[in-house]
């Protein structure tokens, strides 16, 4: 770092705003020289000095100030923190931060259902909340719970009021409530009355003749319901009939109450459904056929998605160019674990529904993806997933298809610090300082997957590695850089921090990378100093 300081200051002992501007342009990749003026550089320095030396009198960095600035992730973080993508395309053009059984506090079989996990998810930026609706023993009551399990219920009204209060704390873009509806028509009418009263003008009710989903921009501060519409007598062509398929692949016995053709459609319930949903019958390819009717949301289990990606890859891509596809965890994940999301994203799946209450490598990837685009919960899908060629051909994610390298990411891991503040002196080793190393995992399409590892720095709370790694990428738009620090031990190595960063959002130059615990919460002090460049 001293070499960089000297290069910018011409070996002077202090870095002035003009020198700092040179650093921002030449080393940090700030290309808009007309925006990065000396005055702009001075403002950044003054804001940093307010933290580093609150009583400063002259706007200048010493070598120590400069080094400490590099570790201020609020100023020098690794990714873009602003919403910067086009938000005016229809909803199906975006990956959407999606929760599964959002009301569960623990596993899928026992424990409490509560509004608290919903609030927590919304405050993290989750944009799709799932509620399972069941009638109570009283005449008009409606509970939210995981059906046919020992989970204790929570009242629907409490969940809806919590959604209204916390929906837009983290992001202004729309919240979608997906309903697993196990209600009779009279209770459905009660739901319509309840959501209309609670959400008021926030509730989005689509025009009857809409042929395309609205955009996130058009739906700012709006709430949408998504569920299967009640059956009714339908006149029209077979394309329009497809959106009312009622067979539930997730559980064929669910929704029995709402499938009785002799029952009358409740007034108002169909009108409050913003996104009509369906689940496929046993002819999966038929369900993935794109008709000329209104766009829909289709739900598949992770096993069904795996079969679809093996047999109908390009059908999936075409389907998601017009419609929304939701994929949920298989029923055997009773401890609320998750599946790897990359397969789904590679095939254009917008809603990869995750259990948010636990932790694990798959959830780290989900966190990483939705750090993109200012953490607003909507990430624009790559153009190649939404475009068609001259022969109506679409992107084929088949692993054996050879793709050219589009870009090369170079990552330098310089050093780390902060463990001595966030951990006890004996947390890692009882009698000596820790032995840290860093693992880099490139996650993405199969051709881009790769692992690298630094050496182990023995007995040092402030490890210095100074190691560079190169990652050639064929699909950088879907690549995630997973960073894990461990402490080497004679037995199982100890966890010392992790984070996951979207490659497409990385800022060039020297960056402070704040690490997180297993559940994704930021450590107070633990950071890595790294450098990124994309060629």
95 and 30, same domain (yes or no): no
Q: What secondary structure letter does DSSP report for 478? A: G
Residues 104 and 223 in one domain: yes
Query: Please, which residues have CB within 8 angstroms of residue 468's CB and are 6 or more apart in sequence?
Result: 410, 411, 412, 413
Residue 79 lies in a domain: no
Question: Which sequence positions are flagged as catalytic?
Answer: 100, 146
278 with 363, same domain: the answer is yes
251-266 pLDDT, tens digit per residue, is 433 343 444 444 564 4
Distances (CA, A) of 17 to 22, 54, 86, 509: 9, 18, 34, 18
pLDDT in tens, 45-65: 999 999 999 999 999 999 999
Look up the CATH number of the domain holding residue 375: 3.20.20.190
Please tell me the predicted confidence (pLDDT) of residue 245: 34
Q: Lowest-confidence range among 16-20, 197-201, 266-270? A: 266-270
Please state, for a pLDDT cut of 90, what percent of the chain lies above it. 79
Neighbours of 234 (CB within 10 A): 10
Average pLDDT value for residue range 108-117: 91
Instruction: Say if residue 203 is in the same domain as residue 234.
Output: yes
Structural domain span for residue 251: 91-386
User: In Å, how far are 92, 317, 393, 400 from 312, measured between CA atoms?
Assistant: 19, 9, 14, 15
Residue 525: predicted pLDDT:
96
- The rounded distance, in Å, linking the Cα atoms of 319 and 409 is 32
The verdict on 473 and 441 lying in the same domain is yes
Quote the number of domains for the chain.
3
Q: Are 63 and 110 in the same domain?
A: no
Neighbouring-strand partners of residue 326? 299, 351
Tokens 């997973």 -> residue: 482
Q: Is 89 helix (H, G, I), strand (E, B) or coil?
A: coil
The pLDDT value recorded for residue 399 is 65
pLDDT value of position 239: 42
Residue in 459, 457, 467, 456 with CA at minimum distance from that of residue 411: 467
| Lowest-confidence pick of 216-230, 291-305, 314-328, 388-402 | 388-402
> Within 13 Å and on the Cβ side, how many CA atoms surround 339?
21
Cα–Cα distance between 371 and 377 in angstroms, integer? 8
Q: Which range (96-100, 340-344, 397-401) has the least confidence? A: 397-401
Say how far apart CA 246 and CA 253 lie, in whole Å.
11
The Cβ of residue 360 has, within 10 Å, a number of other Cβ atoms equal to 16
Residue 82 lies in a domain: no
Instruction: Kindly state whether residue 78 falls inside one of the protein's structural domains.
Output: no
What CA–CA distance (Å, rounded) separates 499 from 361?
10
How confident is the model at residue 31, as a pLDDT?
72
pTM given for the model:
0.91
Task: Determine which of 200-204, 219-223, 241-245, 379-383 has the lowest per-residue pLDDT on average.
Answer: 241-245
State yes or no: pLDDT of 401 exceeds 90: no
pLDDT surpassing 80 at residue 241: no
| Statement to judge: residues 120 and 172 lie in one domain | yes
Is 373 in the same domain as 419? Answer: no
Question: CA 341, CA 343: separation in Å to the nearest integer?
Answer: 6
Considering Cα of 381, then 384, then 387, then 393, what sign does the dihedral take?
A: negative
Other beta carbons within 10 angstroms of residue 9's beta carbon come to: 21
pLDDT at 123 > cutoff 50: yes
Q: Does the residue 217 lie in any domain?
A: yes
| pLDDT-above-70 percentage for the chain | 92
Do both 211 and 285 map to the same domain? Answer: yes
Among 386, 418, 441, where does a domain finish? Answer: 386
Residue with tokens 């201020």: 72
Inter-residue contact 211 to 163 (CB < 8 Å): no
**How many CA within 13 A on the CB side of residue 314?**
8
What's the whole-number average pLDDT of the chain?
90
- 202, part of any domain: yes
Per-residue confidence (pLDDT) for residue 449, from 0 to 100: 95
Q: What's the average model confidence in pLDDT over 464-481?
A: 97
Residue 121 pLDDT > 60: yes
For 246, other C-beta atoms within 10 Å of its C-beta total 15
Residue 335 has pLDDT above 80, yes or no: yes
Bigger pLDDT: 294 or 244? 294
Does residue 400 form part of some domain? no
Q: Which of 91-105, 272-286, 353-367 has the lowest mean pLDDT?
A: 272-286
Judgement on whether residues 369 and 414 belong to the same structural domain of the protein: no
Confidence of residue 445 (pLDDT cuts 50, 70, 90): very high
The CATH number given to whatever domain includes residue 477 is: 2.60.40.150
User: Residue 80 falls within a domain, yes or no?
Assistant: no
Please state the rounded mean pLDDT for residues 120-145: 92
DSSP strand pairing (297-301 vs 436-443): unpaired
From CA 36, how far away is CA 73, in angstroms rounded?
19
Total residue count of the chain as it appears in this document? 535
Q: What are the tokens at 131?
A: 């509620």
Please identify which residue in the block is written with the tokens 């580093």: 52
Tokens of 101: 């059984």
Summarised one tens digit per residue, pLDDT across range 202-234 is 999 988 777 899 999 999 999 999 999 987 633
- Statement: residue 181 has pLDDT above 60: yes
Q: Are residues 419 and 312 in the same domain?
A: no
pLDDT at res. 249: 37
Of 249-253, 401-405, 503-507, highest mean pLDDT:
503-507
With both helix axes pointing from N to C terminus, report the angle between 156-166 and 116-123 in degrees, rounded to the nearest 10: 20
Identify the pLDDT of residue 398. 79
129 lies in some domain: yes
| Residue 243 and residue 314 in one domain | yes
């Amino acid at each position: 770092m001293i070499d960089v300081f000297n290069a910018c200051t011409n070996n002077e002992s202090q870095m002035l705003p003009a020198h700092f501007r040179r650093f921002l342009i030449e080393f940090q990749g700030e290309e808009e020289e007309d925006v990065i003026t000396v005055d702009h550089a001075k403002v950044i320095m003054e804001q940093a000095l307010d933290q580093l030396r609150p009583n400063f009198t002259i706007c200048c960095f010493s070598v120590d100030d400069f080094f400490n600035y590099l570790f201020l992730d609020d100023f020098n973080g690794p990714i873009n923190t602003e919403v910067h993508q086009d938000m005016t395309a229809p909803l199906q053009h975006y990956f959407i931060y999606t929760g599964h059984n959002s009301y569960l506090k623990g596993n899928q079989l026992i424990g409490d259902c509560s509004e608290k996990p919903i609030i927590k998810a919304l405050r993290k930026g989750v944009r799709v909340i799932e509620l399972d609706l069941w009638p109570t023993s009283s005449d008009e009551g409606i509970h939210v719970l995981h059906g046919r399990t020992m989970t204790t219920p929570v009242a629907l009204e409490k969940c809806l009021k919590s959604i209204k209060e916390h929906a837009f704390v983290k992001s202004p873009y729309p919240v979608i409530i997906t309903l697993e509806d196990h209600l009779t028509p009279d209770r459905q009418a009660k739901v319509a009355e309840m959501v209309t009263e609670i959400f008021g003008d926030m509730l989005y009710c689509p025009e009857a003749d809409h042929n395309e989903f609205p955009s996130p921009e058009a739906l700012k501060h709006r709430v949408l319901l998504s569920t299967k519409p009640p059956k009714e007598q339908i006149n029209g062509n077979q394309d329009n009939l497809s959106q009312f398929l009622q067979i539930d692949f997730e559980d064929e016995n669910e929704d029995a109450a709402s499938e009785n053709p002799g029952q009358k459609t409740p007034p108002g319930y169909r009108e409050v459904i913003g996104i009509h949903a369906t689940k496929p019958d046993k002819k999966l390819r038929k369900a993935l056929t794109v008709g000329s009717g209104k766009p829909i949301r289709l739900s598949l289990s992770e096993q069904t998605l795996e079969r679809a990606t093996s047999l109908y890859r390009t059908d999936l891509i075409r389907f998601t160019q017009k419609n929304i596809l939701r994929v949920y965890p298989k029923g055997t994940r009773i401890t609320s674990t998750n599946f790897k999301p990359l397969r789904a994203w590679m095939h254009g799946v917008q809603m990869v529904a995750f259990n948010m209450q636990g932790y694990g490598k798959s959830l780290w990837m989900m966190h990483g993806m939705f750090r993109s685009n200012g953490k607003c919960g909507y990430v624009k899908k790559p153009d190649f997933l939404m475009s068609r060629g001259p022969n109506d051909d679409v992107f084929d994610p088949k692993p054996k298809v050879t793709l050219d390298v589009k870009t090369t990411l170079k990552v330098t891991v310089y050093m780390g610090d902060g463990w001595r503040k966030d951990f006890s002196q004996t947390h890692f080793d009882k009698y000596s300082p820790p032995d840290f190393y860093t693992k880099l995992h490139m996650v993405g399409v199969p051709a881009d997957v790769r692992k690298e590892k630094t050496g182990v720095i023995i007995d040092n709370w402030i490890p210095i590695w100074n190691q560079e790694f190169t990652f050639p990428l064929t699909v950088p738009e879907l690549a995630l850089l997973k960073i894990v620090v461990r402490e080497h031990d004679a037995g199982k190595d100890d966890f010392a921090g992790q984070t996951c960063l979207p490659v497409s959002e990385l800022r060039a130059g020297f960056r402070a990378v704040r690490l997180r615990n297993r559940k994704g919460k930021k450590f107070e002090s633990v950071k890595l100093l790294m450098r990124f460049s994309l060629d």
